[in-house]
Structure 1
Amino acid sequence: MRAQFVEVENVDRFLAGCEKVEHRGAPESSWHLVIGEPGFGKTRTLAWYYLQNDCLLIRAKAGWTPTWALRDVANELGLLAARSREKLYEQIVIAMAQNQRAIIVDEIDHALGDRRIIETFRDISDETEVPIIIGGMSGVEKRLKRYPQIYSRINSVTKFQACSVEDVQRCCDELCEVHLADDIAPLVLAHTGGRLREVINYIAELERIGKRSGELITADSLQGRILTNDGKSRTGVRAA
């Protein structure tokens, strides 16, 4: 498998949302909410964007407190964190105002149990005007609507969806190091439900089979075998 990032349709929608935030009218409308179920590629995309754009990437954690969150931001900035929360916050605001690096907070669901955490990020974005990209599960948008002062700052919402057959074909073309027939992409889509993580695992197993057999992989050649969601091949089940 080639180690590269595939820009599927979800990525295109995400980048469009980032551009909308970049060209916003009100400076405080700098938030971008990214929603996706497990396996749809949300976290993978946020990590890729972080590497491409010199952002800060932080993962919210169960049990997070405002001070803990600020320390995570300070660590990403390479700061020697002050001991008091007030001084720590001041350090971060000064640094962010100077470098204008966007902050990505993945798994934001963990931060919503303590309102002070999300409001701390609001304060940072209001003072520095840096974009805030938050990623979470589908239900997180409803939870955020409980806080109008936060939700009103969300300029763009990107909802990650299951891969299309075109997405799967692109993954096959760009990732797989053996040739796959054109009828493979619909098969992969049907057996993975379009979850990107499972699509990639499925293609890796197809590549292994292709390298071992030395033959073109077609839907017909997989008759009697199904590649399951756990990435294992099992015989005795029809592939199509």
Structure 2
Amino acid sequence: MKNAFVETENYARFQSALKELERRGADEARLIIVDGEPGLGKTTILDRWATQTGCIYMRAAKQWTPIWFLETLLGAFRLPAPSSFKRGFGQAMDALVQRRTACALARRPFAVVIDEADHISRSIDIVESIRDFCDIAEVPFVLVGMGKIRANLTRYPQVTSRVSKYVRFERASLADVRALMDGLCDVPVADDLVGFTRQAADGFNREVKEAIANIERFGKRNGNGEGNPVRLAQMAGQTLLNDRKSGQPIIVPEAL
């Protein structure tokens, strides 16, 4: 499978949120909340965006404490672990301001992405630290979760009032699956197999990529290439992917 990044409709939704952040009315509204079911490409998109732009990407752990959060943030700047929360908070604030200033001079965006943010959305101490960093350092934060983060943050109106945009990742459309096939699969894939994959994967990117790997192996074994795409009927009786709910393989039927 090709090592490529495919710009899906969810990627476009996130990019739209970034543009709205730049046009925001309230200067303190520097939070973006990204959520959606597991397997929709949130981590792939946010990690890739952070890498391309030079922004900071962190993955929250369930056991995160305020000091652990600061250690991780400082580690992203290659700074040593703090001796105390107070000292670490000051070091992180200085590092964020310096990076934001440097990026502004270079006319590059800067933000901090925290993936798996459901884990911290009930921690008032961590959430308040993020609010302080947004307000004082003037750095946007992107919190990425799997559905609980919106509800959890509603208990903190002082935080939700600073949300510039909520981005809900949706299941892949037929056009998304076509784009993923074209961008990732080393053999061409016919439209009928693309449509069946969308149905079998139920729109989850993770399962679509599993199907692409199986289609690619099948196509290479059977000589498929330019002008001879892998078709649905050709793969009859082959395993396309595993069902997310049952764990059982989904077999391409002999006839539809």
Tell which deviates more after alignment, 68-77 or 223-232. 223-232
Q: Does 1:54 align with 2:63?
A: no
Letter in 2 for 1:109: D
- Number of residue equivalences: 240
1:80-105, CA deviations, whole angstroms, 9 ceiling, x for partnerless residues? 23301111111111111111131111
* Residue 202 of structure 1 pairs with residue 211 of structure 2: yes
Give unmatched runs, 5+ long, in structure 1.
none
Quote how far apart the aligned CAs of 1:200 are.
1.0
Q: Distance in 1 between matches of 2:20 and 2:252?
A: 50
**CA positional deviation for 1:234:** 6.7
Please, what is the CA RMSD of the aligned residues? Answer: 1.8
Q: Which residue of 2 aligns with 1:87?
A: 87
Whichever residue aligns with residue 129 of structure 2, its letter is T
User: CA offsets per residue over residues 139-188 of structure 1, 9 Å max, x none?
Assistant: 22111111101111110011001000000001111111112112221111
- Alignment-mate amino acid for residue 222 of structure 1: M
SS in 1 for 2:32: strand
Q: 1:104 aligns with which of 113, 116, 128?
A: 113
Q: Which amino acid aligns with 1:83?
A: S
Per the normalisation by structure 2, the TM-score is 0.88
Contact 2:214 2:241 in 1 (8 A): no
- Is 1:27 the counterpart of 2:27? The answer is yes
Rounded to whole Å, the distance in 1 between the matches of 2:34 and 2:81 is: 29
**2:136 aligned residue:** 127
In 2, distance between residues paired with 1:76 and 1:22? Answer: 24
1:172 to 163, 172, 181: 181
2:15 corresponds to: 15
| 1:113 shift after superposition | 3.2
Normalising by the residue count of structure 1, what TM-score does the alignment of the two structures yield? 0.94
Cα contact 1:226–1:238 (8 A) shared by 2: no
Task: Say if 1:30 and 1:155, in contact at 8 Å, map to a contact too.
Answer: yes
**What is the identity percentage for the equivalent residue pairs of Structure 1 and Structure 2?**
37
CA contact (8 A) 2:200 2:250 kept: no
Q: Which residue of 2 aligns with 1:66?
A: 66
SS in 1 for 2:24: coil
CA contact (8 A) 1:145 1:151 kept: yes
Instruction: Describe the shift of the 1:182–1:44 C-alpha distance in structure 2 as closer, same or farther (beyond 3 A).
Output: same
